[in-house]
Amino acid sequence: MWVKMKEIIFLEERRFSMKKMAKIITILVVVMMISVVFVGCKTQTQTSTPSQNQQQAQQTPKNVSIVFAVGGAPSEIDYWHKVINEFEAKNPNITVNLLRQPMDSATRMQTLVTPLSGHESTPDVFLMDVAWVGQFAASGWLAPLNSYVSQDNYDTSVFFKKVLDLADTYKGNLIALPVYIDAGLLYYRTDLLKKYGFSNPPQTWQDLVKIAEKVQNGERKENPKFWGFVWQGKQYEGLVCDFLEFIASNGGNILNKDGQPVLNSQNNIQALTFMADLIHKYKISPPSTYTEMTEEPVRMTFQSGNAMFERNWPYAWGLHNSDNSPVKGKTGIAPLPHFPGHQSAATLGGWHIGINTYSKNKEAAWKFVKFVESYDVQKGFAMNLGWNPGRQDVYKDQEVLKKAPYLEKLREVFVNAIPRPSVPYYTKMSQVIQKYVNAAIAGRMDPKTALDKAQQEVEQIIKQYGSGS
Ligand code: GLC
């Protein structure tokens, strides 16, 4: 305004005499003085009548800005911007600044651990991997949501009870809410399955090898970049998810029921040997599996038409079926295979929303949490990103079921997904597993030695923490 005024004065200068100019300046000064007096009176009136003041604050809530930290694939970040715009349109007094995080779970965790351990007030609200919600809660970084829930009569029964109990409750307090739930799935090329004379996706891992070998041999004639099976093998959290699926589908586990590590069991050694064999013996998975395969490179290999099978999370479905995808309409989805005599297993993944306990704008953050968890936004996630909503009522929505028919078909997979151990030393244990499993699939260590070493190191970590729980 003042700049504009200055511009106007400058342009008119040539036409006005200095005398006229002086008059204008006098008028301006008078106007400014009147405004100062007026504002002063207003402030005085407000301070002199607190009840009026309160009333006014309620009618015109003050503007607040909150920082929301979130990561993910580029399409997911674009979608979050859309969600934020909708929220801001409905809540004009709240500005949400998106703090973009990377895709990788551990890096996302680190970018939150630094401000939270320094008791910083931002980010105010953020998404957490189900694998580390417990650790954040134990560190006291998550604001309990109970008082907001009761103040608003907020209905938490719309969420999966098992998930709320398992991941979002700490010492009786609700500390987070599920935004979406992940479970490992097998994607396959329906057209190639048919072309090579198979009628069904594989039930066992050996079936998968058989189909993948045949299709790979055939397709390689035209396309040297073609692979039978792509999965997450880089040294990072995603490898632990895949490892858990291989071992659990052979009757193995990471910890037993008493919380003691059982990493070097026979079943686990067999499963890890098979993982390495996929790359080195059957040669149906690329050597880049252990150097660079995280979710996105895996998805892009399959999506560009260069793989028969893919292990990934539900988000890949939406992208595979997007308009410019070469595998649109040619992608099938099934439970992951299992070893003979055992059940198929999917790792429970997913991301949960929580509020920073040091935030200065918790009320505004809670409003944002409620919006993200609202029926329409959750439906939007399912329709546009292929996410499995955290709310169960959305699963009955006909439009959602039409767009993501696997939700109904693979219900069992989601309901029975296996959580990673919920222990305070999870991150340390995961790092040990990542290191040794990656060494074994890279062929640097034999699977038995790798798991013996992992077992010893995890035992040490548990000793340091005092107990197995
Ligand atoms: C997905 C899952 C998460 C898992 C991560 C591993 O984001 O939702 O739970 O830890 O992948 O890369």
Q: What is the DSSP string of 303-355?
A: HTT-EEEEEE-THHHHHHTSTT-TTTT-EEEE---B-TTS----BEEEEEEEE
Least trusted range by pLDDT, from 95-99, 213-217, 300-304, 387-391 = 387-391
CA of 124 to the centre of ligand 1 (A): 22
Band of pLDDT at residue 410, cut at 50, 70 and 90 = confident
Distances (CA, A) of 95 to 122, 366, 453, 469: 14, 13, 50, 41
Question: What is the model's pLDDT at position 61?
Answer: 58
Mean pLDDT over 310-337 rounds to 95
Question: What is the model's pLDDT at position 423?
Answer: 85
Considering only residues 426 and 13, tell me which one the structure prediction assigns the higher pLDDT: 426
Q: For ligand 1, which residues put their CB under 6 angstroms from it?
A: 105, 129-131, 182, 237-238, 241, 295, 313, 349-351
- In a shared domain, residues 334 and 355: no
Q: Which backbone phi and psi does 179 adopt, to 5 degrees?
A: -90, -45
CA of 104 to the centre of ligand 1 (A): 8
In the chain, % of residues over pLDDT 70: 86
- In a shared domain, residues 225 and 336: yes
Range of the domain at 265: 185-345+425-467
Band of pLDDT at residue 467, cut at 50, 70 and 90 = low
- Residue whose CA lies nearest to ligand 1 atom number 6: 238
Q: In what order do the strands lie in the sheet with 307-312?
A: 227-230, 307-312, 185-189, 331-334
- Does residue 216 fall inside a structural domain? yes
Question: What is the model's pLDDT at position 405?
Answer: 85
Query: What is residue 420's three-state secondary structure?
Result: coil
- Does residue 8 fall inside a structural domain? no
**Residue 170 β-bridge partners:** 173
- In a shared domain, residues 235 and 291: yes
pLDDT at 313 > cutoff 60: yes
State the Rg of the chain over Cα: 28
- Does residue 279 fall inside a structural domain? yes
Question: What is the model's pLDDT at position 404?
Answer: 85
- In a shared domain, residues 299 and 394: no
Q: In what order do the strands lie in the sheet with 348-355?
A: 94-100, 64-70, 125-129, 348-355, 177-183, 388-389
Sign, Cα dihedral of 138, 142, 145, 148: positive
Specify which of 3-17, 60-74, 219-233 reaches the highest per-range mean pLDDT. 219-233
CA of 58 to the centre of ligand 1 (A): 41
For a substitution probing ligand 1, which of 179, 182, 243 has the most ligand atoms within 8 Å of its CB?
Answer: 182
Residue 99 neighbours by CB distance under 10 Å: 16
CA of 174 to the centre of ligand 1 (A): 22
| Ligand 1 atom with minimal separation from the 130 CA | 9
- Does residue 23 fall inside a structural domain? no
Mean pLDDT of the chain, nearest integer: 88
pLDDT tens column, 216-233:
999 999 999 999 999 999
- In a shared domain, residues 205 and 315: yes
- In a shared domain, residues 340 and 237: yes
- Does residue 12 fall inside a structural domain? no
- In a shared domain, residues 248 and 359: no
**Domain-ending residue, one of 397, 415, 433:** 415
CA of 107 to the centre of ligand 1 (A): 12
CA of 184 to the centre of ligand 1 (A): 9
CA of 350 to the centre of ligand 1 (A): 6
Least trusted range by pLDDT, from 24-28, 360-364, 393-397 = 24-28
- In a shared domain, residues 193 and 282: yes
- In a shared domain, residues 171 and 207: no
Question: What is the model's pLDDT at position 414?
Answer: 85
- In a shared domain, residues 274 and 307: yes
- Does residue 40 fall inside a structural domain? no
User: The pTM is what?
Assistant: 0.83
Q: Please tell me the distance from the alpha carbon of residue 305 to that of residue 327, in angstroms, as a whole number.
A: 6
pLDDT at 408 > cutoff 50: yes
pLDDT at 13 > cutoff 70: no
Q: Which backbone phi and psi does 426 adopt, to 5 degrees?
A: -55, -45
- In a shared domain, residues 134 and 202: no
363: tokens are 């009320």
| Ligand 1 atom with minimal separation from the 103 CA | 7
Mean pLDDT over 141-145 rounds to 98
Structural domains counted in the chain = 2
- Does residue 48 fall inside a structural domain? no
- Residue whose CA lies nearest to ligand 1 atom number 3: 349
**Domain-ending residue, one of 377, 394, 415:** 415
CATH number for the domain harbouring residue 320: 3.40.190.10
pLDDT at 102 > cutoff 60: yes
- Residue whose CA lies nearest to ligand 1 atom number 12: 238
Query: Angle of helix 105-117 relative to helix 237-248, nearest 10 degrees?
Result: 120
pLDDT at 331 > cutoff 70: yes
- Residue whose CA lies nearest to ligand 1 atom number 2: 349
pLDDT tens column, 173-209:
999 999 999 999 999 999 999 999 999 999 999 999 9
Q: Are 93 and 361 in contact (CB under 8 A)?
A: no
| Ligand 1 atom with minimal separation from the 351 CA | 8
- In a shared domain, residues 305 and 324: yes
For a substitution probing ligand 1, which of 232, 237, 427 has the most ligand atoms within 8 Å of its CB?
Answer: 237
- Does residue 380 fall inside a structural domain? yes
CA of 296 to the centre of ligand 1 (A): 12
Q: Please tell me the distance from the alpha carbon of residue 349 to that of residue 263, in angstroms, as a whole number.
A: 20
Band of pLDDT at residue 435, cut at 50, 70 and 90 = very high
CA dihedral 76, 77, 83, 86 (to 10 degrees): -140
Considering only residues 204 and 53, tell me which one the structure prediction assigns the higher pLDDT: 204
Least trusted range by pLDDT, from 243-252, 290-299, 390-399 = 390-399
CA of 144 to the centre of ligand 1 (A): 24
